[in-house]
Structure formats: structure tokens, C-alpha cells
Structure 1
């Protein structure tokens, strides 16, 4: 096989696996930002906090980090419920969610980063499960399990969430709450309770994304800042609140970024990837799976 072709194919495969990580990181934001209209700028920081706790729990219990992430999804759900309760009481209920609410989530982000530094120090943390050193080779294409396993977990979590949103009354209420909360009240459904539950689910997804992250790469307290632009770009590019769009956009973003890095160097990859985002939005302002208002 031609060397450039092999490099291209490996770049595409690695980009798809990287897109799995981006999808895990952006899925929770697709719920809070896309469905609830809550600009949770602290979501990547919550993901990094999940990664640190996965390292702590995985090391203490001697379990796989991806399993630890699934277990931590429950306490992170409770954390998300608490954050939304505070946010609603002091900002959303009074109609101050636009600017003051955004400042609140900026504050949450910085508190998380400082808290991680104080608790764990500034050093990087990571976990190497046994499969992290295994690479499947199909012809000239390498498939590292370090990337494949987190991507599969992310797809499973997003798939379960999609089924919940499509097949249950509560899931349909989550999809509708930002569009017409008054209609939900007429159906004897409390929009605040629905938003509280949905925001808890979005933060639970951040814990799963954190587990995927620490398997793929080391994390440090400020790692969330690297993902802020990417997760919002994936969420917007896929179409606000569309989980299938989020997955497709994450795969496209990962492939464009990785192929560019393979051929032209990593310094070009963010510029080309975000340029691709602007091109897509120029053609489809509502995103890949979004609907025009």
C-alpha cells in the first residue's frame, strides 16, 4: 500500500476514535446547552474533575477506569442536580440567566480547577489499564484499544440516552422543556423538575467522558480549557440538542483535526477543524441535524 494512502487511512481511523472522545465530551453539553438552553461553560471542567476522581477510585479499588466512570456517574448526577437547583434559585427563577448565569458557570469552572489543584496538585494524572498497550492491526491500519474502548463506552452511553429521550415520557419532556415550558405545565409536568433531572444527566455524562479522557491521555486541572472550544463547536455543528448530530459532528471534527495533524503538523489541526466548522455553518446555519427556527 502507498505510504501516503496508509497514512491517510490511519489518520481517518484515529480521527474517528478521537471523535468518540469528543462525542463523549459534547453529549452532556448537547443536553444542557442544546435542550435546556443553559450555557454550562463549566462542563469541560466537570469532565476533568470526573477524570481525576476516576483515577482516584480506579486506583483505590483496582478496577477498570471505564467501570469507575460508570459508577461515578451516579454521584455526578446528584452533583448536577445540586448545581441546577442553585442556578435556578438564584438566577433562572429571576430571569438573570443570560449574563449572571453565564458568570455563575464561569465561577464554577474556576472553583473546580482551583479545587483540583489544591486536592491533587498541578501534576498530570492518568491510568493505564491492561488494554491500553494493545493495538489491533488490520492490514496497514492500527486500532489502539486505548482509543477504541473509550469510544465504545461513549457510543453506548449516548445511545442509551437517545433511547431514553425518544422512548420515555420524561425524555420527551426534556426535549420539549426549552421550547414550551408552559405546555408542560398544562400537562401537569413541572418544568423545573424536568430541567433538574436533565441537567443531572448532562453532568453524569461528564463523569463518563472523564473516564474516557484519562484512558486516552493524561489530565491536569486546567485540561478542561483545551476542550471548551471543541465541545461547543461539536454541539453547534451537530445541531442544537441533536445527539445523532453531535456524534456525526464529533467524528467529522476528529477526522479533520487528525488528518490535518498527520499531513501538515499538529499546529494546523485546530485552525483547519474550526475552519471546517465555519464552512458547515455557512451552508447550514442550523447545524447538520438542526432545524431552522
Structure 2
């Protein structure tokens, strides 16, 4: 087989696996930013905090990091409900969520980063489960389980969330509160309670993404800053609040970044990937799976 074709196929495969990580990072943001219109700029930092806790607990107990991440989902859900309660009380109910609410989440992000540095130091942390050293070879294509297994967990989490949103009463209420909170009040449903529950889910998904992250690559307290632009880009490109669109956009973003880095160098990959975002929005301002206003 032609060497350039082999390089391209491996670049596409690695890009799809990288897209699985982006999907894990962006699916929680698709709930808070896409459905609730809450610009949680601290979401990647919460994901990194989850990754650090996964390393600490996984090392202490000898558990698989992805299992630890799933177990951390409940504490992070409770953390998310607490953060939303503060945000709603001081900003949202007064109509100050646009600018002051954004500043609140910036503050949360920096508090998390400084807290991680004080608690764990600036060093990188990571975990290597047994499958991290296994690579499946399919002809000329290499598929490292270090990236495949976290990606499969991300797809399972997004699939479960999609079924919950489509098939349960609470899930339908979450979709409704994003469109017309007053209509929910007329049905004797408290929109604040629904938004608190949904925001808790988004932070729980950050814990799952943190477990995926520490398997794929080492993390440090400032690692969340690397993902801020990417996760918001994936969420916007997919269509605000569309989980299938989030998955497709994550794969597109991962493939474009990785193929560009393979053939033209890593310094070009972010520019080309965000260029694709602008191209998509030029022809579909609502995103890949978004609905036109």
C-alpha cells in the first residue's frame, strides 16, 4: 500500500479516536451551554479536576480510571447542583447572567486551577491501565486501546443521556425549559429545579470526561485551558444542544486536526480545524444538526 495512503488512514483513525475524547469533553457542555444557555466556561476545568481525583482514587484503590470516573459522576452531579444554586441565586434570577454570570464561571475556573496547584502541585498526573499498552492492528491501521476504550465510554454516556432526554418526562422537561420556561410554570413544573438537575448532569459528565482524559494523556492543573476553545467549537458546530451533532462535530474536529498535524505539522492543526468551524457556520449558522430559527 502507498505510504502516504497508510499515513492518511492512520491519521483518520487517530482523528476519530481523538474525536471520542472531544465528544466526552463536549457532551456535558452541550447540556449546560446548548440546552440551558449557561456559558459554563469552567466546564473543562471541572473535567481536569475530575481527572485529578480519578488519578488519586484510582492509584489509592487500584481501580480502573474509567470505573472511578463513573463512580465520581454522583459527587460531581451534587457539585453541579450546588454551583447552579449559587449561580441562579446571585445572577440568573436577577437577570445578570449575561456578563456577570460569565465572570462567575471564570472565577470558578481560576479557583479550580489554583486549588489543583495547591493540592497536587504543578506536575502532570496520569494513569496507565493494562489496556493502555495494547494496540490492535487492522491491516495497516493501528488502533490503540488507550484511546478506543475512553471513546467507547464517551459514546455510551452520550447514548444514555440521549435516551434519557428523549424517553423520560424529566428529559423532555429539560428540552422544554430551554425553549419556554414559562410554559413549564403553567404546567406546575418548576423550571429552576429542572435546570438545576440538568446542570448537575452536565457536571457529572465532566467527571466521566476527566476519567477519559487521564487515560489518553497526562493532565496538569492548566490542561482545561487547552480544551476551552475546542469544546465550545464542537458544541457550536454540532448545533446547540444536539447530542448527535456533538458527536459528529467532535469526529470532524478530531479528524481535521489530526490529519493536518500528520501532513503539515501540529502548529497548523488548530487553525485548520477552527477554519472548518467557520466554514460550517458560514453555510449552516445553526450548526450541523441545529434547527434554523
Does the alignment reach a TM-score above 0.5? yes
1:277 equivalent to 2:277? Answer yes
The 5-angstrom pairing of residues 165-180 of structure 1 reads 165-180=165-180
The match for 1:10 is 10
Ranges of 4+ aligned residues in structure 1 off by more than 4 Å: none
The match for 1:49 is 49
Residues 51-103 of structure 1: per-residue CA shift (max 9 Å, x gap)? 00000110111000000000000100000000000000000011110000000
Work out the CA distance in 2 between the residues paired with 1:57 and 1:96.
Answer: 38
1:191 equivalent to 2:183? Answer no
Deviation at 1:188, TM superposition (A): 1.1
The 5-angstrom pairing of residues 53-202 of structure 1 reads 53-202=53-202
The match for 1:36 is 36
Please report the TM-score for the alignment, with normalisation by the length of structure 1.
1.00
Work out the CA distance in 2 between the residues paired with 1:178 and 1:101.
Answer: 17
Residues 191-223 of structure 1: per-residue CA shift (max 9 Å, x gap)? 000000000000000000000000000000000
Please report the TM-score for the alignment, with normalisation by the length of structure 2.
1.00
* Structure 1 residues not aligned, in runs of 5+: none
Deviation at 1:261, TM superposition (A): 0.5
**Count of paired positions:** 293
Deviation at 1:28, TM superposition (A): 0.4
Query: Secondary structure at the residue paired with 1:287?
Result: coil
Deviation at 1:10, TM superposition (A): 0.4
The match for 1:252 is 252
Deviation at 1:292, TM superposition (A): 1.2
The match for 2:23 is 23
Task: Give the CA RMSD over aligned residues.
Answer: 0.4
